[in-house]
Amino acid sequence: METVTIQKLSKTYPGGKEALKQLSLSLNKGEVFGFLGPNGAGKTTTVKLLTGVLAPSGGSCDIMGVNPNTQPEKAHLLSGIVTEHAQMYDNLTGMGNLIFYAAAFGLEQKEGKQRGESLLKELELTEAKDRKLATYSTGMRQRLSLARALLHRPKVLFLDEPTSGLDPESAQNVNQMIHNLASKEGITVFLCTHQLRYAQEICTRYGLIEHGSLLASGTIDELRTQAFPSKSLRICASAVPEKLNFVKRRANEFETQIQDKKEIPDLVRKIVEAGEDIYSVNLIEPSLEDIYFALTAGRKEDRAI
């Protein structure tokens, strides 16, 4: 089921900057969609259009059939948002902030308090709940902001660099929570990030954006095939017959390029039949970071032609 639909969405800011050029995308229920791109690519602009903060210059978008531009209140009830610099009330406690925002979302006081307590626990903020926000670290603020975004049980969660101020342990904790929200509760997550390693841990699909246009989208395997049509196979063995065209990397380590993993058994058989011993066989999978740089570099070469 589609929860977010974007069709030929464009945004030109006053002054003429074309931040988004005919972007088309759709997200399904329970997906964690990683929206990746360099600074200024148009990620935040997309989130602002999807949350009704900005009006599009062309095209359209909707959250479960609701247009955030024409029905912002309805769209806000369906979505939660965490931005890099979340603004909340420094003079209120963590819990006080959540109670305030719960009321703003229309939750009754008792329900808001209960929901706040349980989110604070999940985000490991219970001990700090009665402290004023002014005393919170960046990471604690970021986690409280996530709790605020989840108060009204949104169907779609927009996260703009949610782990940017977090130490590795807190980032892991937030990532685990995002993963659970999507896989167990069916929330659709639209995650804008530069942190490709974290993205690879939790995203189920990706979109790569540059200069306001979508370069590529798909699962990591689809993007891998697009960026690297052949794969590197590394075999550690006593030796490899010359006719198999492996390149020797170091003592007992040989590498070749294959198109498909189905080629592996035949290669292994031929090495064994030649009387050699095999110690290990590894298909080298490029990481999301490798894929990202390969696709963005490919794009730069296209432009240079």
Ligand X SMILES: Nc1ncnc2c1ncn2[C@@H]1O[C@H](COP(=O)(O)OP(=O)(O)OP(=O)(O)O)[C@@H](O)[C@H]1O
What residues line the site for ligand X (CB under 6 A)? Answer: 13, 15, 17, 19, 37, 39-45
Listed residue (108, 180, 184) closest to 151, CA to CA = 108
Which residues lie across from 231 on neighbouring strands?
A: 258
Shortest Cβ 106–ligand X spacing (Å) = 30
Which residues lie across from 88 on neighbouring strands?
A: none
Q: Which is nearer to ligand X, 45 or 145 (CB)?
A: 45
Shortest Cβ 154–ligand X spacing (Å) = 21
Amino acid at 52: G
Q: Which is nearer to ligand X, 48 or 115 (CB)?
A: 48
Longest dimension (CA), the chain: 76
CB-count exposure of residue 116 (10 Å: 0-12, 13-18, 19+): buried
Shortest Cβ 52–ligand X spacing (Å) = 15
CB-count exposure of residue 194 (10 Å: 0-12, 13-18, 19+): middle
3-state secondary structure 54-83: CCCCEEEEEECCECCCCCHHHHHHHEEEEC
Q: Which is nearer to ligand X, 28 or 213 (CB)?
A: 213
Shortest Cβ 174–ligand X spacing (Å) = 18
Q: Which is nearer to ligand X, 53 or 258 (CB)?
A: 53
Shortest Cβ 47–ligand X spacing (Å) = 8
Shortest Cβ 41–ligand X spacing (Å) = 4
Q: Which is nearer to ligand X, 59 or 186 (CB)?
A: 59
Q: Which is nearer to ligand X, 125 or 157 (CB)?
A: 157
Strands (E), 120-269: 156-160, 188-193, 205-210, 213-218, 231-237, 247-250, 253-258
Shortest Cβ 109–ligand X spacing (Å) = 36
Listed residue (10, 264, 2, 26) closest to 155, CA to CA = 2
CA atoms of 204 and 82, how far apart (whole Å):
19
- Is residue 26 within 8 A of residue 5, CB to CB? The reply is yes
Q: Which is nearer to ligand X, 15 or 168 (CB)?
A: 15
